[in-house]
Chains A and B, each alone.
Chain A
Amino acid sequence: MKSIVLSTKKRDYTTLLVFAVIVFTAPLWGKIIGAGYPDLLQKFAIFGLFAIGYNILFGLTGYLSFGHAAFLGVGSYVTVWSFKLLTMNAIPAVLLAIVFSGVFALLIGFLSLRRSGIYFSILTLAFAQMSYNLAYSVLTPITNGETGLRVLTSDPRVVDTALGYTIEGSPLATLFGTTLTGYPGFYFCAVVLVLGFWLSLKIFRSPFGMKLVAIKTNQTRMEYTGFNHRPYLLCAFVISGMYAGLAGGLLAVVDPLAGAERMQWTASGEVVLMTILGGVGTLFGPIIGAATIKYFENIFSGIGDTALAEIFSFLPDAVSNLLITIISPFVGSGWHLTLGILFMLIIIFLPGGMSQGFQKIADKIKQKNKKSSTSEVKLEKDGIA
């Protein structure tokens, strides 16, 4: 947390610049790792945003929410309804998603934040599960239950109708004429991600961020110094809820469909995993974690025996068959297993997540370069976090 004190504006802008370049060149480097296709890149950006927002709550205040998928779902439903009733333009849709999920987060946060620790986690889990069940089987006129809410050609869309726009073929989200699927959709998400990252950076560096960290460090001491922690906590909860809503909205923008399974507790657990895997309380960690999990889900799950056979085709048959037998339980439908092992290894050896790993590597390199001036190394240590 030393970084908060030490960092300068200059360093922040460099961080932002580096981040933006990495994000916008994703289609290029994504190709190398087999992830260079729009759908997965969109998922990287969207879940990265989700995890960044979640990190503002969990990383800074230490409050472990198990219900953030509810806000993701609310964001998706609101966006799809905006597409159905107002316009296919993405801007009002995501703005509405942020507003509605913010209000929803205020409500749930107000109730849940009366408790802390495990009780808070359980409360958020309960609220999220309630929302899921409501969406799944009670509020079916609004959510269309298991089948999912879809945008239809026959929907009213009052704004579009008033402006004289008509839809040809399947209704897709647009940004003033550009259809937001494929790469344009990714770039839309990427711009939002960079903006979201910048805001999160600002929060990390602000006095408000300091107060959130103080809540994590020692709540009692904070109260003695005259701060009422609850408003700050609620504010952090609402902000992270809005991030989640925005992410949900983007999911519906790139693919106009909202399903109840987005609100399931497994989805809430996923964002916790992403954050921990990447590094709790770090700036980049949650994004790295989100990308890793989505990569596993989409790429590893698609590797079958035939793909393995192709990879090992240069080896003699007996060896390659043996290798395939050993590896195949860990790929394809067994991708959860690999992810689980990775998660365990990281928790055991790198409690600070993957970003701690990168940090260690970076430190090693720096130490080699600057063996003479050890005092400087300490100052440089805040590189990533």
Chain B
Amino acid sequence: MSNDKKFTELSRRGFIKSSIAAASAAAVPTVFVSNANAYVNAPKGKTVTLGFNVPQTGAYADEGADELRAYKLAVKHLNGEGDGGLMNTMKPMALKGNGILGKKVTYATGDTQTKSDAARASAKRMIEKDGAVMITGGSSSGVAIAVQSLCQEAGVIFMAGLTHSNDTTGKDKRRHGFRHFFNTDMSGSALGPVLESEFGKERTAYHLTADYTWGWSQEGSIKDTTEKLGWKTKAAVRTPLGAGDFSQYITPVLNSGADVLVLNHYGKDMVNSLTQAVQFGLRDKNVNGNDFQIVVPLFSRLMAQGAGKNIQGIYGTTNWNWSLKDAGSQAFVKSFGAEYGFPPSQAAHTCYVQTLLYANACELAGTFDPCGVITALEGFKFDGMGNGATEYRAEDHQCFKDVLVVQGNDKPSSQFDLLKVVKEVPRKQVEYPASKLGGELGSCNNA
């Protein structure tokens, strides 16, 4: 009896094992067939899918919403709908207004939640499920870097959205990643001379820094610049991303002996920290015989809107502002305004431009194959996109163009007229050798 039982048990176990093996063996072949393409997600039908990965929740949700608006607008224009926007001013341009390479552009969206994990998960979904041939977006450098390396591994192109850290095209650069936005090094170089002429050489700075790759990068760049001017750095305090309440970090500034507060914050963090700094009376203080000043190295109109009157007179830099008068900027503001009823932010601008640049590169290369697209984008020179003559440097996939130094407007003429452009710093003043920031691009991956 007991022998019998053992026998049946053993065979049952064997049965389980063999059926597991059989089940997995049956499932495996169906899996590999779908990957037998020349390159990942080669568009088969009449459409091509782009993946828009933006923060819809979290500290950068406002920027994310504006980015998504811009992407949708870009898709419209690429498909020949609407007024064409920057496709009227971009040069040289290979786009025909019939989609990309004759294929209608569709898109998938994802929520990065401003977290690397979530961003990678949604990017993977768009690559693996929705068949996206290019991923773009990200309103945080941490996220952008994480998604960029994912895209390198997966063999699709990543067109970075709002990411300002040096590392994106510095030590974490990838062959598959491209950035139109400027970086903290350029912000530092552009801001330096203005800070010197406005505030002098005898200053002591106190940094509050968002504690992640972008914050560190910006703190480093601004420190470099200001210390070259002769400023001292009192302290650099790291604050968690999305802290909400910054009072515990601002109180120590009051009696630190510093006379300039540098806020290396962005999005809602910057709105909160600046508002609280003003409420604490920092700007009314007089330290070492100097008026206390606040500097926000990376500025955007969306943040200015959030911070209200507090931003008046505060200096910073920005990639682009809707008040620019060149034909490209005007065309973009006009078509964005017609669509949504308000002017676009710098985040919207860079995302829109990135989408067009990608599409244009596909047309130039005559294929969606990432290796071809990369070759077309590397060293690509263009104009009429709102920043003047611009170049995608081949060595680090960073765009080089003029940088704007802006100041919070004292007398805004409308609720959107919040930043006034103090200076357009020419490209050659913010340029640096690619070797300065290190990193390896690696090779193109279309396996």
Q: Which of B111, B117, B128, B130 meets A38, CB within 8 Å?
A: B128
Asked if A210 is an interface residue, CB under 8 A from chain B, the answer is: no
Q: Which residues of B contact A153 (CB under 8 A)?
A: 440
Of the listed stretches B13-21, B287-295, B368-376, name the one at the interface; the rest are far from the partner chain: B13-21
**How far, in whole Å, are A136 and B241 apart by their CA atoms in the complex?**
10
B 1-40 contacts with A by CB, 8 A: 9, 12-13, 15-16, 19-20, 23-24, 26-28, 30-32, 35
Cβ of B27 and Cβ of A301 under 8 Å apart?
no
* Distance (whole angstroms) from the CB of A315 to the closest CB of chain B: 21
Q: Which residues of A contact B238 (CB under 8 A)?
A: 137
* Distance (whole angstroms) from the CB of B280 to the closest CB of chain A: 23
Closest-by-CB residue of A relative to B212 is: A146
Q: Which residues of B contact A297 (CB under 8 A)?
A: 121
Q: Which residues of A contact B117 (CB under 8 A)?
A: 148, 257, 259, 261-262
Asked if B412 is an interface residue, CB under 8 A from chain A, the answer is: no
Interface size class of B (residues with CB under 8 A): 35 or more
Cβ of B13 and Cβ of A40 under 8 Å apart?
no
Cβ of A28 and Cβ of B30 under 8 Å apart?
yes
Q: Which residues of A contact B15 (CB under 8 A)?
A: 17
Asked if A169 is an interface residue, CB under 8 A from chain B, the answer is: yes
Given the known interface contacts A28-B27, A145-B212, A183-B31, the answer about A169 and B442 at a Cβ–Cβ threshold of 8 Å is yes
B 232-289 contacts with A by CB, 8 A: 238, 240-241
**How far, in whole Å, are A262 and B26 apart by their CA atoms in the complex?**
34
Asked if A211 is an interface residue, CB under 8 A from chain B, the answer is: no
Q: Which residues of A contact B212 (CB under 8 A)?
A: 145-147
Q: Which residues of B contact A137 (CB under 8 A)?
A: 211, 238, 240
Given the known interface contacts A27-B30, A146-B142, A257-B116, the answer about A302 and B108 at a Cβ–Cβ threshold of 8 Å is yes
* Distance (whole angstroms) from the CB of A57 to the closest CB of chain B: 24
Of the listed stretches A18-26, A114-122, A216-224, A316-324, name the one at the interface; the rest are far from the partner chain: A18-26
Cβ of A257 and Cβ of B442 under 8 Å apart?
no
Contact with B along A302-313 (1 / 0, CB 8 A): 101010000000
Asked if B145 is an interface residue, CB under 8 A from chain A, the answer is: yes
**How far, in whole Å, are A12 and B26 apart by their CA atoms in the complex?**
24
Asked if A172 is an interface residue, CB under 8 A from chain B, the answer is: yes
Q: Which of B19, B128, B150 meets A21, CB within 8 Å?
A: B19
Contact with B along A34-66 (1 / 0, CB 8 A): 101111100100000000000000000000000
Cβ of B16 and Cβ of A20 under 8 Å apart?
yes
Cβ of B443 and Cβ of A333 under 8 Å apart?
no
Closest-by-CB residue of B relative to A334 is: B56
Closest-by-CB residue of B relative to A186 is: B31
A 207-235 contacts with B by CB, 8 A: none
**How far, in whole Å, are A36 and B19 apart by their CA atoms in the complex?**
21
In this complex, which of B13, B35, B116, B241 has the most chain A Cβ atoms within 10 angstroms of its Cβ?
B116
Cβ of A302 and Cβ of B27 under 8 Å apart?
no
Q: Which residues of B contact A150 (CB under 8 A)?
A: 146, 149
Given the known interface contacts A259-B115, A259-B116, A259-B117, the answer about A16 and B16 at a Cβ–Cβ threshold of 8 Å is yes
Given the known interface contacts A147-B142, A257-B146, A333-B56, the answer about A298 and B125 at a Cβ–Cβ threshold of 8 Å is yes
Task: Classify the secondary structure of B's interface with A.
Answer: helix
Q: Which residues of B contact A38 (CB under 8 A)?
A: 124, 128
Asked if A194 is an interface residue, CB under 8 A from chain B, the answer is: yes
Q: Which residues of A contact B31 (CB under 8 A)?
A: 27, 182-183
Q: Report the count of interface residues on A (CB-CB < 8 A).
A: 48
Given the known interface contacts A40-B125, A40-B129, A146-B211, the answer about A301 and B19 at a Cβ–Cβ threshold of 8 Å is no
Asked if A2 is an interface residue, CB under 8 A from chain B, the answer is: no
**How far, in whole Å, are A10 and B5 apart by their CA atoms in the complex?**
11
Cβ of A145 and Cβ of B211 under 8 Å apart?
yes
**How far, in whole Å, are A31 and B122 apart by their CA atoms in the complex?**
17
Asked if B386 is an interface residue, CB under 8 A from chain A, the answer is: no
In this complex, which of A34, A137, A302 has the most chain B Cβ atoms within 10 angstroms of its Cβ?
A302
Asked if B213 is an interface residue, CB under 8 A from chain A, the answer is: yes
Asked if B409 is an interface residue, CB under 8 A from chain A, the answer is: no
**How far, in whole Å, are A289 and B109 apart by their CA atoms in the complex?**
25
Cβ of B152 and Cβ of A170 under 8 Å apart?
yes
Asked if A9 is an interface residue, CB under 8 A from chain B, the answer is: yes
**How far, in whole Å, are A17 and B20 apart by their CA atoms in the complex?**
8
Q: Which residues of A contact B129 (CB under 8 A)?
A: 34, 36-37, 39-40
Asked if A187 is an interface residue, CB under 8 A from chain B, the answer is: yes
* Distance (whole angstroms) from the CB of B307 to the closest CB of chain A: 23
Asked if A255 is an interface residue, CB under 8 A from chain B, the answer is: yes
**How far, in whole Å, are A43 and B115 apart by their CA atoms in the complex?**
16
* Distance (whole angstroms) from the CB of B285 to the closest CB of chain A: 28
Given the known interface contacts A25-B27, A146-B213, A302-B108, the answer about A172 and B153 at a Cβ–Cβ threshold of 8 Å is yes
**How far, in whole Å, are A96 and B173 apart by their CA atoms in the complex?**
31
Closest-by-CB residue of B relative to A171 is: B153
Cβ of A183 and Cβ of B145 under 8 Å apart?
no
B 134-151 contacts with A by CB, 8 A: 142, 145-146, 149-150
Q: Which residues of B contact A34 (CB under 8 A)?
A: 129
Given the known interface contacts A181-B153, A261-B116, A262-B117, the answer about A13 and B16 at a Cβ–Cβ threshold of 8 Å is yes
**How far, in whole Å, are A20 and B122 apart by their CA atoms in the complex?**
27
* Distance (whole angstroms) from the CB of B12 to the closest CB of chain A: 6
Asked if A332 is an interface residue, CB under 8 A from chain B, the answer is: yes
Q: Which residues of B contact A304 (CB under 8 A)?
A: 109
Contact with A along B188-215 (1 / 0, CB 8 A): 0000000000000000000000011100
Report 15 cross-chain contacts, Cβ distance below 8 Å, ordered by A residue: A17-B15, A21-B20, A24-B23, A28-B27, A28-B30, A39-B124, A39-B128, A40-B129, A146-B240, A147-B142, A153-B440, A169-B153, A169-B445, A182-B35, A333-B111
Q: Taking beta carbons and an 8 Å cutoff, which residues of A are in contact with B? A: 9-10, 13, 16-17, 20-21, 24-25, 27-28, 34, 36-40, 43, 136-137, 145-148, 150, 153, 169-170, 172, 181-183, 187, 190, 194, 255, 257, 259, 261-262, 297-298, 301-302, 304, 306, 332-333
3 tightest A-B contacts by CB? A146-B212, A39-B124, A37-B128
